[in-house]
Amino acid sequence: MAIADVFSRSSTTTGPGAAVTPLSAFGERPAREGEHVEALYAWVDEIAALTTPDRVHWVGGSRLENEALLREMVDEGRLIKLNPEWRPGSYLARSHPGDVARTEGRTYIASEREEDAGPTNNWVAPDEMRATLTPLFAGSMRGRTMYVVPFSMGTVGGPLSHIGVQITDSAYAVASIGIMTRVGVDVIDQIAAGKPWVKTVHTVGAPLAPGEQDVAWPCNDEKYIVHYPDTLEVWSFGSGYGGNAILAKKCFALRIASVIGRDEGWLAEHMLLIRVISPEGKKYHIAAAFPSACGKTNLAMLRPTIPGWRVETLGDDISWIRPGDDGRLWAINPEAGFFGVAPGTGESTNVTAVETLWGNTIFTNVALRPDGDVWWEGLTDETPAELTDWEGNPWTPASGRPAAHPNSRFTVSAGQCPQIADDWEAPEGVPLDAILFGGRRATNVPLVVEATDWSHGVFIGSNISSERTAAAEGTVGELRRDPFAMLPFCGYNMADYFAHWLRVGKALHVSKRPRVFQVNWFRKGSDGRFLWPGFGDNSRVIEWIVRRLEGAVDAVDAPIGRLPRIEDLNLEGIDVPQQDLEELFAVDPESWLHEADLTEQFYSTFEGKVPPRLYAELEALRYRLKRAQQA
């Protein structure tokens, strides 16, 4: 049984009088034979010789093992067990204040050739980086347990799945990997059978001298997260937080997987995945790429406000997309859990997420209530009178600081989501009907626009951006580019990534390609207020997209793509003034021509590697805009 399976149950706690099994009762190396598994064992021995842990624990993935691991962390002060009356089987972790987020500035792509990393990644030559990391890893696990965690992204043995092994000295990372992936000895059976696997090595970088007292959250001021795409490895040093320590997530599932996908002809994407069911019972599958703070989780767990429509969640963050034998694109969510940002997640914004967190959840850096439950900004409309903040200090509304860290997190099994699709773990995945791109744009970008074809859709995806909203973040209105919402996560040159998208689409029959749309829930009027209600009412945009797929509604040709006729939007039950609706779809040629110039500047950073097809799309856009100016 995978550790993640434990968290789909009502509780991970044992009943009164139940036998308590210590963690030391587990951890033996699985007895397997053959050259492939012997290579795994030799690698583990090599890392142990380098890092010199006190002991090596092979994670088997059983329920009892996981309970013992959690119990040990509570006993050592690494986790706080929450009140089981309010949050059964759940725990709170508090990180070091200097270890609270992804460390993008210390994230590297160590490809053999610098041009393969491209200008949007930090590149270091592999030999140079290994020379830097080897002394850091030497003895880094002294005084600690080295855990060996075999995991699968996607169901074990599935046709779209990939496997890996993480070595780590963080029990918190082990528990988190157990929720986010499928962990167990059956993964080692896959390795023994010759299936390729990704090597990931992680240490908090805090060795212990004999008799030295440990801290609740060990870490190191020096941090590295290094990807070796040519040898399919990830090495992470110094951080115990999030994607820096859960290497199956952004490191494997996006940066390394994007390279594997490039070489094998598929796509590893920072995309949610949902099934939309119409009142007629027809099912449509949509993947959507949004940068952070653009409504991604809300759309993944959308509850439509229009009668008869339903949305089932398949994934909230990552999609692996492959061409199928039938000529369509098929997608899976390779993860087994949700690793979501807590602040802003509440009953008024995402009731589905709140219901998912009823129990069996690891919370990190949220506030603690006096009754032993958790709280964060946005969870409830009413703020508690007193709390213990994410650093363990007393807090009241008058404290003048957030109670929960802005990047505080929850880690929970996807199986607990009340609207998770029954077949969300189907190995073959689901066929994609549409792909959405979105950013946070106060101006210019309409509520929804349909691409004219696949190449135009790739052009839209390559230009996804959000506008800076405060002078402290830069010039107000300045565009922050995040192509395909993959800027921090593409493991190779993004210009080559654009070309790969074009190749994947070209290999599909025109009639079987997913339709591509751009959405923008955040357009504002001249008075600064949002023009669209958002949240559950975004289902009205999804309905129009589905009706376009069905051929039930027409669209209006505009210089930037195809726009809805306002009368085709289902606005029953909401009050959006006609003037606001017109502004939501207004296309100003002059502003768009300026944006085209910014696109050309952005493309120029790739030093001539952007595919000619995208430059042709840019010039066609300019031509249409100039004609609209003259009309």
Which residue has tokens 């802003």? 344
Between strands 55-58 and 145-153, the pairing is parallel
CA distances from 459 to 222, 315, 486, 612 (A): 39, 25, 14, 11
- Three-state DSSP at 58 gives strand
Place of tokens 């025109």: 510
Q: How many residues does the chain have?
A: 631
Query: Which strand (E) or helix (H) includes residue 329?
Result: strand 329-332
Residues 552 and 533: their CA atoms lie apart, in Å, by 25
Q: Give the Cα separation of 613 and 498 in Å (integer).
A: 10
In DSSP terms, 548 is beta-bridged to none
Of 219, 294, 417, 490, catalytic: 294
Q: Specify whether 294 is catalytic.
A: yes
Amino acid at 503: R
Rounded Cα distance between 420 and 414, Å, is 7
SS3 108: strand
Collapse the DSSP code of 518 into the 3-class scheme (helix H, G, I; strand E, B; otherwise coil) and give the result. strand
Closest by CA to 257, choosing from 70, 417, 489, is: 489
E strands of 41-138, at which residues? 55-58, 80-81, 91-93, 107-109, 122-123
Closest alpha carbon to 436 in 587, 540, 285: 285
Residues 6+ apart with CB under 8 A from 572: 306
R_g of the chain computed on alpha carbons? 25
Task: Tell me how far apart the alpha carbons of residues 553 and 198 are, in angstroms, rounded to a whole number.
Answer: 46
Q: Is the CB of residue 593 less than 8 Å from the CB of residue 626?
A: yes
- With beta carbons less than 8 A apart as the criterion, state whether 232 and 260 touch: yes
Task: Judge whether 440 and 294 are in contact, CB under 8 Å.
Answer: yes
Phi, then psi, of 77 in degrees rounded to 5: 80, 15
The residues annotated with a catalytic role in the active site are 294
